[in-house]
């Protein structure tokens, strides 16, 4: 399954979100199409993915995980569309 991870991060200058990005990249099959969005392919469900990422955000941040289907439309790079097509989304 393919999931979209979306977030708004209210980063303070002394705070780094590298650990959040590393946690997303730990899913090994990922795509970063937009500044605040990632696609990942995973056998985990949305709740499990969300729970794996929440330790790396602050209380005022926003995080949303949802499954992507082939019923989608938008304008992304050809590489991003290829990634989605490869994973059946």
pLDDT, position 13? 55
Check residue 5 and give left, alpha or beta (phi > 0: left; psi -120 to 50: alpha).
Answer: beta
pLDDT, position 87? 94
pLDDT, position 65? 98
Q: pTM higher than 0.75 for the full model? A: yes
Contacts of residue 18, Cβ cutoff 8 Å, sequence gap at least 6: none
Q: Are 49 and 5 in contact (CB under 8 A)?
A: yes
Q: Which residues, in sequence order, are bridge partners of residue 63?
A: 7
The per-residue pLDDT for range 56-66, each reduced to its tens digit, is: 998 889 999 99
Q: Which residues, in sequence order, are bridge partners of residue 65?
A: 5
Residues present in the chain in total: 89
Spell out the domains of the chain, with CATH numbers in brackets: 2-86 (3.30.70.240)
Mean pLDDT, each 10-residue run in order, the chain (89 residues): 93 73 95 96 97 92 94 93 92
């Amino acid at each position: 399954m393919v999931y979209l991870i979306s977030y708004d991060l209210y980063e303070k200058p002394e705070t780094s979100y590298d650990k959040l990005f590393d946690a997303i990249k730990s899913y090994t099959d990922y795509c970063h199409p937009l500044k605040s969005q990632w696609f990942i392919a995973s056998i985990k469900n949305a709740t499990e993915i969300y729970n794996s990422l929440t330790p790396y955000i602050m209380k005022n941040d926003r995080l949303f995980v949802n499954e992507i289907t082939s019923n989608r439309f938008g304008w992304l790079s050809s590489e991003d569309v290829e990634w989605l097509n490869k994973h059946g989304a």
